[in-house]
Structure 1
Amino acid sequence: MGSDTILETTDLTKTFSGFTAVNKVNLRIRRGSIHALIGPNGAGKTTVFNLLTKFLPVSSGTIRYRGDDITHETPAKTARRGIVRSFQISATFPHLTVFQNVRVALQRRQSASFEFWRHEKALSVHDARAMELLESVGLGGLAGVKAVELPYGRKRALELATTLALEPELMLLDEPTQGMGHEDVGQVMGLIQKVAAHRTILMVEHNLSVVSQLCDTITVLQRGAILAEGDYQTVSNDARVREAYMGAEAEAA
């Protein structure tokens, strides 16, 4: 495992009652890069995320993070290493304010996430950092707004702020622009570029425009196996990728 590699899988495999969802996937994620997993529905992208973050046990193969074998670690131990994941479905506390959501995440890093009974003043140690994080994702002016009242794109920005509160070294973003309008997609892309300056990002994304503009390396999955890998030009020019992923869209191009 080279010094420029932060995460590496070897023959990563997951089977469910005889069905192989992930088939001997070998990933090498370079430190400081934005790396995308793409592919048609059912290709195994989210299953790979679940294996990397230990939401599912590995059937065979290995996962190494910063040179350490983390294949059979618990999800909590893996997260403490600095691997933090966002989900397709918005995962904020809807009836807490934007500010309170970020502060909860900061409390979690200090192992105090559920100490809501503590006096407000006892939690104020996190206030400055919470506001700093909100400003960094453009939500400083919405700190007092309840999360449920935010438009979808702003909720995604809030999720990025809460993820950053955990000080991840490797961020796994699952469909960060799913369901967004053009304006929101542009805002979230800008945020991802900004937060990527000091960390590594592995993302699952269907929007090829986002992938082409953001990602250094793209891994294409089909039926749980790697079909192609490279920069956007390389994979988009691959006839197998065009057939498997782009379908009729590629034929019309």
Structure 2
Amino acid sequence: MSVDASASPPVLETRNLTKTFRGFTAVDGVDLQVQEGHIHALIGPNGAGKTTVFNLLTKFLPPTRGEILYRGKPITPLKANQIARLGLVRSFQISAVFAHMSALENVRVALQRPLGTSFHFWKSERTLSPLNARALELLEEVGLAEYADTLTVEMPYGRKRALELATTLALDPDVMLLDEPTQGMGAEDVDRIVALIKRVAKGRTVLMVEHNLSVVSRLCDRITVLARGAVLAEGDYKSVSQDPRVREAYMGSEIGDDEAPSERASA
């Protein structure tokens, strides 16, 4: 799709990334390469280690061993806030929206973070108003301009997820890490979020954990499949979906040759 995986060095890379918990290996020697400009999916059955990998990449957990590199430079020792400042922004890190604030106010809070004033709620409206124009632009980008003055608690679930994406974009991320962006959504909301991710991914790199394989097939340039904490397969959707090991991991060996995982599971 957008970039040949061999054309340039990865923007985000892990080498032998491993995490153990009291003898249990949750992530087992994962080598991951995310290319600039790609939408890259991390998929696998429940318990495969996908969210743990995300937690390691964003330093919510320290790795037991292994290395994380961003643009060729080791970032393994950095803290979560330092990772975010580099431009690696995980959606839920800064997008826990405030239920009793408006959509505009939520985005404006996110815009204050680089200024070091995220929690200056007591500031006057006049002082904060210079951020309104950018907040409205971001709401427009995610299709929520008409909901600018709506309290978040009054918004349907799909639009709350879109608002979370707007707050993520407020940090101007270089690499967006989206943790199951369509989880719990109906078909109409899923279609809306897929279109939205396509739009906001232009000019950015996206690494996403996603259970819905139909979403993955529509969005992603490259897919890494995890099973039992290790990389099981990697490639584009067609090659990965036809890999017997992947089909076995998701559905068992009974699946027919004419059925793709996207039609049978959202594991």
Q: Same fold (TM over 0.5)?
A: yes
| Aligned position for 1:194 | 199
Aligned residue type for 2:76: T
Task: Give the 5 Å matches for 1:38-187.
Answer: 38-87=43-92, 91-187=96-192
Query: Identity, % of aligned pairs?
Result: 65
In 1, distance between residues paired with 2:246 and 2:203? 31
- Tell me: CA distance 1:133–1:44, structure 2 relative to 1, closer, same or farther (3 Å): same
In 2, distance between residues paired with 1:86 and 1:249? 36
Runs of 4+ off more than 6 Å: none
Q: Please report the RMSD computed on the Cα atoms of aligned residues, expressed in angstroms.
A: 1.7
Q: Deviations over 1:193-213 (max 9, x none)?
A: 001101000000011110001
2:196 alignment partner, SS class? helix
TM-score of the two chains, using structure 2 as the length reference? 0.91
In 1, distance between residues paired with 2:152 and 2:27? 35
TM-score of the two chains, using structure 1 as the length reference? 0.96
In 1, distance between residues paired with 2:8 and 2:253? 41
Query: Structure 1 regions of 5+ residues with no counterpart?
Result: none
1:35 alignment partner, SS class? strand
Tell me if structure 2 keeps the 8 A contact 1:175–1:205: yes
Query: Structure 2 regions of 5+ residues with no counterpart?
Result: 1-5, 260-267
Tell me if structure 2 keeps the 8 A contact 1:58–1:72: no
- Tell me: CA distance 1:110–1:238, structure 2 relative to 1, closer, same or farther (3 Å): same
Question: How far did 1:72 drift?
Answer: 1.4
- Tell me: CA distance 1:247–1:52, structure 2 relative to 1, closer, same or farther (3 Å): same
Question: How far did 1:247 drift?
Answer: 3.2
In 1, distance between residues paired with 2:130 and 2:252? 53
Question: How far did 1:68 drift?
Answer: 1.2
In 2, distance between residues paired with 1:51 and 1:60? 11
